[in-house]
Structures are given as structure tokens and as C-alpha cells.
Structure 1
């Protein structure tokens, strides 16, 4: 039976507190998918980096990985850096299927949820 993992792939930052919303997203997603290992990986400045995480997942028996770029837009990191990294990972881990889905901010449902939040902010009380 195939073992699956979901990797939320974010940029990374110098401040550890930057990762807090991504950790909450990981935890919320893990709670909804108990049979799938949900992890965070970062492009730079934070660990684990994607190559190290993929190696760890494979060593733990995972053979199907879905990477979700948790980026609002498809800039150079999503369009150029991530595909190159994934191509190398596929060569390094031929027994593991690695697929990448669209950046979160390119998904209609995500954009609608963000729009809902923006519209709802109009009715929030103003700070005095």
C-alpha cells in the first residue's frame, strides 16, 4: 500500500515567528488528513529544506509526495526554482512519486476565501 505525504512548501524567513501561520496551516491540514503525513519545507533561511525532507520521508516509507507551494503568486521561486529542485529530487528518488500542484494563491478557492476575509474586514470595528 502506498504511503502518502503532503508537503507545504514556503519561502522561509530569518524570523522564526514568520513560520507560525504555516505551522497552524500544517496542523489544521494534518487534523483533516490523519492517514497522510503533513510537513512543512522551506526554500531558504529555515529548515527543513525540501531535499532533506523528501529524503526523510522516503526513508520513512513514503512513496507519494504532493508539494503545495504556499505562495500567493507564481514568482521566480515557484516558476523556476521549485521545478528545478523537483526535477533533481525525482532523479535522486526514482522510487518516489513527487507531484507539485499550483501555488495556493493561484487557486480559485483560496482566492475566494481571501476575498471573503477582505470583504468581512469592512464590517469589523475600527480601533479607537
Structure 2
């Protein structure tokens, strides 16, 4: 596979925190059988994004799309991620790295969350 989709999350000390992200990865992988769908983390969990991109590049991946699985574009997405991605682009010029908006900034995601919130009210 020459393409990869990286779900980029913050990371946490508790392994249980990652369970919903693992489910998201698995659901996404099932829909994209010809693409490597992987989880990468900013901190506290492995693999961190730099190690993951190194692994993907070594396996021959030439296109990486990074989806920040964050509700908003806070400091990590606006400051930390661009610096990290620029370093990765310099280290792996053979890999095209594209970063899309934070999941929580996307209208479809917000509508799905709103639907869930509305449906949670008892009738």
C-alpha cells in the first residue's frame, strides 16, 4: 500500500482512553482496505507521529494524510502539529504529507455529534 491515513490523537496515560480511537481506526480500515489506517499520538502513547511516519516511509508509503482527531484546533493542532509535520517533510521528502482540519471542526462531524446529543434527551 502506498497510501496511509493517520488518525492523530493526543494520547493519555490510560490505555482505556485509546479504545474509541482504536474502534475508529478499525471502522475506517474496513472502509479503506487498500489504505493503511493507523493511529499516531502526540504524546504519552505509542506510536508517536514521528516514529509512525518513519515506519510508513520505510515500508514504501508515499502519501500520508493526517486527520487530527481533536474536537477543536487548539494549541496542539495549530502549533505543535505543523512543526512536527514540517520536520517530517524535511526528513522524508519522498512522502507527501497532507494534514486536514481537526475532526471537530468538520461540519459533518459536528452534525453527527449534535444528532447524538439531541437523541440523548429522554422523550
The aligned residue for residue 17 of structure 2 is 18
1:123 deviates by: 3.0
Q: Which position in structure 1 is the counterpart of 2:116?
A: 117
The root-mean-square deviation of aligned C-alpha atoms, in Å, is 1.0
Within 2, Cα distance between the matches of 1:38 and 1:50? 13
**CA–CA separation in structure 2 for the residues paired with 1:23 and 1:93:** 26
State the TM-score, normalizing by the size of structure 1: 0.94
Q: Distance in 1 between matches of 2:64 and 2:46?
A: 18
1:121, CA displacement in angstroms? 0.2
Query: Does 2:102 align with 1:107?
Result: no
Name the residue aligned to 2:48. 49
CA distance, structure 2, for counterparts of residue 123 and residue 114 of structure 1: 17
2:94 alignment partner in structure 1: 95
Large movers: runs of 4+ above 4 Å? none
Q: Secondary structure at the match of 1:99?
A: strand
The Cα offsets for residues 45-84 of structure 1, whole Å up to 9 and x where unpaired, read as 0000000000100111100000000000110000000000
* Cα distance, 1:108 vs structure 2: 0.1
Q: State the secondary structure of the residue aligned to 2:80.
A: helix
1:38 to 2:37 alignment:
yes
Return the alpha-carbon distance in structure 1 between the equivalents of residues 52 and 111 of structure 2: 31
* Structure 1 residues not aligned, in runs of 5+: none
Q: Distance in 1 between matches of 2:119 and 2:30?
A: 26
Aligned length: 123
TM-score (norm 2): 0.98
Secondary structure of 2:72 counterpart:
coil
Distance 1:90 1:122 in 2: 46
